[in-house]
Amino acid sequence: MQYTIFIMPQEEGGYTVQCLELPGAISQGETVEEALDNIKEAIELLLDVLQDDLRDKLALSTTQVARIEIANVS
C-alpha cells in the first residue's frame, strides 16, 4: 500500500512526519531518511493495532465484512 506522508522540518532540527490517511501515525527523525524509516514502522504498528481491534470487535458481533468497488469519479 502507499500512504501520503507530510515531512515537516523542525526549527530545532530534524523532521516530523505524519501520515495523512492514518492521523495516529506520527514520528520524527534527524534526517529525512530516518524520519521516513520511522514513519514506516509507526504505520505498521498502528495497522497491527487496528487489525487486532477490528478482529476483537468482529468476534463479539454478528457484523459482516464485504468488499465493494466504486468507479473512479472525476
At 21-57, the pLDDT tens digits run 998 999 999 999 999 999 999 999 999 988 887 777 7
* Domain range annotation of the chain: 5-59
State mean pLDDT over 61-70: 74
pTM over 0.75? The answer is no
Is the pLDDT reported for residue 64 higher than 80?
no
* Residue 67: per-residue pLDDT: 83
Rounded to the nearest integer, the mean pLDDT of the chain is: 88
* Residue 8: per-residue pLDDT: 97
Residues 6 or more apart whose CB falls under 8 angstroms from that of 15 comprise 7, 8, 9, 28, 29, 30, 31, 32, 34, 35
